Structures are given as C-alpha cells and as structure tokens.
A and B are shown apart, each in its own frame.
Chain A
Amino acid sequence: MEPDDHSRFKWFALVVVGLVTLGLCPYFLPRFFTYLLALILVTGLVATSLNMALGFGGMYQFHHAVFYGIGAYAVSLMLIKSGLPIVICFVAAPVVSAILALLMGFICVRLSKLYFGMLQLSLGSLVWILVFRWYSFTGGDDGLHGVPVPSWISSVTGSYYFTLIVSVVSLIIMYIVLNSPFGRILQAIRDNSERSESVGIQVRRHQLVTQVIAGFFAGVSGMLFVTVEGSAFPDLLSWTLSLELLIMCLLGGWFTFFGPMLGAAIIVSLRTMVGAYTEYWTTVLAIILMLLIFFLPEGIIGFIETLFKRSHASPGEDL
C-alpha cells in the first residue's frame, strides 16, 4: 500500500493538469469539439448527481432526468417571461429542481428498492406529461427555443467556460458531501439500511436530503444545458433520457465518483461519432449495454479498481 499523502498528491496533480488542459481546450480545439466538451460536462454533471442517489445512496433513481429537465425549463421560462436579473434566474432554476426533488422524495423515500424506483417513475412521468401538454406555458412538444441568454455566456467559448467553472465547482461540492460524515452515513444506509436504522440513523431523512442535493445539481446541469443549447424541450425529462443516464453511471462505474462523468464522455462522444455514420446509433448503444451487463457489471472504473486491487492482493485472496 502506498502512503496516503503520496497518492493524494498524485491525484491532486492529475486534477490540476486535467483542469488546465480543459481550460486551454477552446484555444486549440475546433468550435464543434468545444461545444461537444461542454455537452459532455453538462451530461456528466447530471449523471454524477444521479449517481449520488443511485451508487452512493442505493436509491433506485429511475427518473432522474425530471430534475434535469425542470432545471432547464425553469431557467428558460424565467429568462423568457420574467424580467429578473440573469443571476437570479441561474440560481433559482436549481432551487426549483431541488423543491421538486423534495416533494417527490417526500413521497418516494417511504419505500425502498424497486418500489422506490417505480414510485419515482410514476411521479416523474406526471411531471413529464404536464410539461409535454401545457402548450401555453411550456411550449408543449415543441419546447422553448431561442432562450435569451446573454451573448457572453451563450457563445461557444463563453458557454464552455461557464459550464466548466460551474460543473467543476458542483463536482467539488458533491465530492465533499460524499466524503463528509453525511456521505459516509449515506453509504452505510446503502449497504445495510436495517442495521443503520438500528444504530440510530434517520434513514428516511438522510435519503430525503440526498434527493434534494441530487435534484439541485441535476437542476444546475439543466441550467447549464440551456446556456449551451439555448433551448429546452420535453425530451430533457423523458424516461428514455433517465435510462440513458443510468447507462452512463453503469458504464463508468456506479460505485465510483468519476465513473458517471467517464460514462457520459463515452456515450456523448460515441453518439456524435457513430451518429455521423449511421442512423442506427441506438443499436450500437444497445450492444455496448448488453456487453457491459454481461462482462463489466461494475463499470470501467470499477473494473480497473478491481484489477488494481487484485494485483496488490496476495495470491489466493481474490477480490
């Protein structure tokens, strides 16, 4: 085993190098790839927030995209219909998502596992159908286009830097939360909720707070999506997107912090690359997913970690 300080320094150096590289990207990458990177960051952020409830909280978050979509709709509607300063709109949108997460969480955390997921699925689909149908307010299935985001943010470079800064800050906050005593308790609940309850942990309350935090950061990424794309549409809260987000978590590794970001990077870039050649992109996704479930159930990062641990463990002490 390596000394803790040393490995921590290595990680820190890696993160700094990564951030500097990301910060310099717009200077040497074509505009399209800058846009793609921003999209990856946005999708990665919502997948990470999903994984907070799913991988760390053990809650079957079947319809997480609702919070993402509502964040996007909230900021778009506020920018279009209210004269509020842009800063307030950007802050209020995630709060709207968090409030929705609180309401839905309040109903859902009474149950666990599949029942939780099913309940969230039904509540989420009610929100989706409302957004989908309420033409006069949300634009119905057309969505809202041409959201008046100030040009210093909505330009490709501007939205990229805005997304980079906001998502890095959000990731740091989520990382801190998950490594705090709160995060440890959350993982204890995931591993054994009965035992956690019997040692005096308020299981439901912790799960509810996690829902709110996860909903909030999903709202943040929804808000970022609007700065990148300039529009909001019902697909952002469709169940299909929720399932795609689950795939991202699974692909990267759903017991790891950076797994969902990696999964999002792979899926979003593959969709762009493969989508350019064939209209049957979803077949590729389906095959990846099946192979993943059969051969890599812990995801890429999880698999690498297992390999790493195995090479360090003494023989005969597999896993």
Chain B
Amino acid sequence: MDFLTTVTSSGLIQQFLVGLSRTTILFVVASGLSLVLGVLRIPNVAHGSLYMLGAFLCYSFATLFGKNPIGFWVAIVMAPLGVALISLAAERGLFCRLYDREHLMLLLFTFALMLLCRDIVKMIWGAEYRSLAPPVVLQGSLSILDLPFPKYNFFLLSIGPFVALALWFLTQRTKIGKIARAAAVDRDMVSAVGINVSWVFASVFVIGCFLAGLGGALVAPTQNIAQGMDHTIIMESFLIVIAGGLGNVWGALLGALIFGLTDSMGILVWPQFSIVFPYAIVVIVLIFRPKGLLRATW
C-alpha cells in the first residue's frame, strides 16, 4: 500500500487542523439548522441558501468598505445580521402562518424559499465566481511542524468554541433559551401559561438563520463564493444534524466533528473517494443508532 508511506505525522496534524477548521464552519451552520429543527420543527432546506446569501453579502460588504482595514470585520458582522433580518421578515410574513402544518409541507415550503433564494442570488450577483481575500492580519500562514498552515484557519478554530459556548449559554442560562426548550417539548403548555410563543419562535428562527449567515460569512475568504454552495452545505448539515440527533446542539457539534475530520483524514487514505467517507460514516452511525448519537429534543 503505497499511500501509507506518503503520510507523515506532520501531514497528519496538518490535515487534522484543516479538518477542525472545516468542522467549525459545519458546526456553526448545522447548529443553526438543529436549533430551528428542534424548537420550531421546521426542516429548513433554505438554511443552505442563507449560508450562501451570507457569503455573498460578506463579499459585497467587504468590497463596499474595502478601503480601510476594518472593512472585512464590518462585513463579517453585517452579513449575518442582514441574513437574520431577511429571515425575520420570512418568519413574520410566511412561516408563522404554517406552524401547525405537517413536516412535509414545511419541508417543501422551505424548498420553495431555497429555489427563490437561488434565483435572487443569480439576479443580484450573477453566475460567475467571486472571491474574497482574508484581512491583512490573517493573511499568510504559520508553520506547524515545518508545514504551512493558513492564519485564517486559526481564526476559524478560535470561533468554533466561542459559538458553542454562546449557544450553550443561550439555551441553558437565558430566559428565552429556557422558554424555547420548554416550547420544543410542549408548545401548547408554554402558551397556556401565558408566554407569547410566537415571538420566542421568531427569535429562535432568527438566531438559527443568523448562524447560517455567520457560517457563510466565515467561509467566504476560504473558498470560491458561487452558485451551488447552498446545495452542498444543506446536504452536509442535514447529515450532521441527523447523525447528532435532531435538535440537539451538542449533537450538531459531535456530528460536525465526525463529518469534518473523516473528510480531511479521508484525503490521506483515498483521495479520490475522500468525500464519500463522511457520508458513509454517518450512515454507519445511523444503522446502529437510527435516531442519532445524542438524544433528540423531541
């Protein structure tokens, strides 16, 4: 087996770090999807489109404010906020009328939004690729055991734990998180004790979509911003959410770790089929634990 000889320990560590930074993006996006699925019970297919929208918005804001060094940082904050604003409008205008429908209807409704988003992105930004350079501070690379590793990926690595911590705080320690968790279990009971569930749902939806936009904004400097980004990410984040347990944010973290690391490690083993490994792992997990690794919220 010749491929084993080419794998050195430093190469392994490099791939591990690449996998971890990929995991960060996947976790940020999938946790948003999981939150919406767990509390609102909407399998939001348009989540991937919001991610794509986040990336394109980040590009546009960054080119708009590009003259000064803080342009990128403004963009990375503004883009998810823009996505959150759009999702707030969608929730108040459309989704809040559909909560009592079946999953299938909600799935197809979000699919309609995905199709719409795809065309809107095509109309505004056109069909060609865009690319965005990381800010000057994060350009270049550091060397880890004599192998170069982009600085921007370190930035991504530091974002992941921060998002996880913020989500933990939000769901476990704040009032809205507690209400949301209660509403996920029994929404009628929560409204019976006099809480306006509708607004709780709206805020959870917006937070979930904000995370999709954040994921898109974070990924923008690392890859081509293009049509079709939505398709890949939605597939991957659904798999992560399913493998982790529907609606469970920690499950999303676990799923993202499994998915991101098998993807990057798979390249060392069998480059041609590396993308197949994460899918296969998820299926193996589901054969043994059909409802996902961690307990679903409902």
| Cβ contact within 8 Å between B282 and A293 | no
- Which of A54, A117, A135 counts the most chain B CB atoms within 10 A? A117
Annotate B119-154 by CB proximity to A: 1 below 8 A, 0 otherwise: 100110000000000000000000000000000000
- Contact flag A121-B242 (CB < 8 Å), given A282-B119, A293-B98: yes
In the complex, B195 has a CB within 8 A of chain A: no
**Are B115 and A118 neighbours in the complex by a CB distance under 8 Å?**
no
Across the interface, do A280 and B122 meet the contact criterion of CB distance under 8 Å? yes
Comparing B18-26, B157-165, B272-280, the segment that makes contact with chain A is B272-280
B282 touches A122 (CB 8 A): yes
The answer to whether B103 touches A125, judged by C-beta atoms less than 8 angstroms apart, is no
Q: Are A246 and B108 in contact, CB atoms less than 8 angstroms apart? A: yes
- Whether the pair B246, A283 counts as a contact (CB closer than 8 A) is no
Query: A111 contacts which chain B residues (CB < 8 A)?
Result: 290-291
Number of interface residues of B (CB under 8 A): 40
Q: How far is the CA of A62 from the CA of B98 in the complex (A)?
A: 20
Of A114, A129, A243, which one neighbours B276 at CB under 8 angstroms? A129
Cα of A69 to Cα of B23 in the assembled complex, Å: 31
Q: Is the CB of A280 within 8 A of B239?
A: no
Does A19 belong to the interface (CB within 8 Å)? no
Chain A hits for B238, CB < 8 A: 118, 121-122
The reply to whether the CB of B112 lies closer than 8 angstroms to some CB of chain A is yes
Main secondary structure of the interface of A (DSSP, over half): helix
The answer to whether A60 touches B104 (Cβ under 8 A) is: yes
The reply on B118 being an interface residue by CB < 8 A is yes
Distance to closest chain A CB from B11 (angstroms): 23
Instruction: Give which listed residue, B235, B239, B246, B290, contacts A110 with CB less than 8 A.
Output: B290
- Complex interface: stretch among A29-37, A197-205, A284-292: A284-292
Q: Which residues of A contact B118 (CB under 8 A)?
A: 282
Decide: B279 and A243 in contact? CB cutoff 8 A. no
A246 contact set on B, CB distance < 8 A: 104, 107-108
* A46→B260 CA distance, assembly (Å): 35
Could you list 12 examples of A-B contacts with CB < 8 Å?
A: A114-B246, A118-B238, A122-B239, A122-B279, A122-B282, A125-B239, A125-B279, A126-B282, A247-B108, A280-B122, A283-B119, A289-B109
Q: Which residues of B contact A (CB under 8 A)?
A: 43, 45, 94, 97-98, 101, 103-105, 107-109, 111-113, 115-116, 118-119, 122-123, 231, 235, 238-239, 242-243, 246, 272-273, 275-276, 279-280, 282-283, 286-287, 290-291
Q: What 20 additional pairs, Cβ within 8 angstroms, besides A114-B103, A293-B105, A293-B108? A: A54-B104, A62-B107, A107-B290, A110-B290, A111-B290, A118-B238, A119-B290, A121-B242, A122-B238, A122-B283, A126-B276, A126-B283, A135-B272, A243-B108, A247-B108, A280-B122, A282-B118, A285-B115, A289-B109, A293-B98
